[in-house]
């Protein structure tokens, strides 16, 4: 009896498989032109994307980075206006971004933001720096801290505190001591002595070798009263 049931189940299974194969063949025969058309379109799109990347996008990226070399040199020399806006012969970071966008690489936004900050254009600096979103803990934190500095200059102390906290969280290194000190000073401006004390104590406890730790006690005593 058990053997009969097993044979019946096996026969039913084979019948289901045959029906599935038959249905698949029928669907293919009825729609093979459309199927091959879709496959051909996928291949064409894939080849087109590959060709665009190799012959258009990558050369544009290389061209954009080459255009930035003079501006990078000007930035290193402290010539921020020249670095940002160029001189008519070479492009500044602002024009490189305008012409090439993301092809110039994210560093263009960092450079442009730092130039704007040094020139006292704080809102423009924030706009550029917010577009510099990278995983690098040092440069990413530097950009966030500069956003904080720009907000301090604009007296947007709440936004500055958030930026400094983000910089501290992103870059847990010796630079964080500076960001903590700045955060503490901003919290003082906001009248939040508890938050300021926490930031100053973090400098002393976590970064005792940092320059900011040498006279941190005066800040601690100032807000601990």
pTM of the predicted model as reported, rounded to 2 decimal places: 0.72
> What token pair was written down for 101?
């966008």
Answer whether 70's CB lies under 8 Å from 90's CB: yes
pLDDT digits (tens, 9 = 90+) for 91-139: 888 888 888 766 566 888 999 999 999 999 999 999 999 999 888 889 8
Quick count: other Cβ atoms within 10 Å of Cβ 8?
A: 10
Residue 40 has pLDDT above 70, yes or no: no
Distance CA 76, CA 69 (A): 11
More confident residue, 40 or 104: 104
Q: Which pLDDT score is estimated for 45?
A: 43
> What token pair was written down for 85?
């806006």
Q: What percent of the chain has pLDDT over 90?
A: 45
Residue 17 has pLDDT above 70, yes or no: no
Distance CA 200, CA 183 (A): 9
pLDDT digits (tens, 9 = 90+) for 146-155: 999 999 999 9
Distance CA 136, CA 171 (A): 8
Would you mind telling me the total number of residues written for the chain in this entry?
A: 225
Residue 220 has pLDDT above 70, yes or no: yes
More confident residue, 168 or 18: 168
């Amino acid at each position: 009896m058990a053997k009969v049931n097993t044979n019946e189940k096996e026969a039913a299974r084979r019948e289901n498989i045959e029906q599935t194969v038959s249905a698949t063949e029928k669907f293919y025969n009825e729609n093979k032109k459309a199927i091959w058309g879709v496959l051909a379109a996928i291949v064409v799109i894939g080849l087109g994307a590959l060709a665009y990347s190799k012959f258009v996008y990558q050369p544009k990226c290389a061209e954009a980075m080459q255009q930035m070399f003079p501006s990078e040199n000007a930035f290193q020399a402290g010539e921020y206006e020249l670095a940002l806006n160029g001189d008519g012969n070479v492009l500044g970071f602002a024009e490189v971004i305008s012409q090439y966008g993301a092809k110039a690489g994210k560093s263009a936004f960092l450079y442009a933001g730092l130039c704007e900050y040094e020139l006292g254009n704080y809102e423009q600096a924030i706009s550029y720096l917010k577009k510099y979103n990278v995983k690098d803990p040092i440069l990413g934190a530097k950009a966030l801290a500069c956003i904080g500095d720009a907000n301090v200059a604009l007296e947007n102390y709440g936004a500055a505190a958030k930026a400094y906290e983000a910089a501290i969280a992103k870059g847990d290194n010796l630079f964080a001591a500076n960001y903590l000190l700045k955060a503490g000073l901003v919290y003082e401006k906001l009248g939040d002595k508890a938050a300021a004390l926490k930031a100053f104590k973090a400098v002393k406890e976590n970064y005792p070798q940092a320059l900011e730790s040498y006279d941190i006690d005066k800040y601690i005593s100032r807000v601990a009263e």
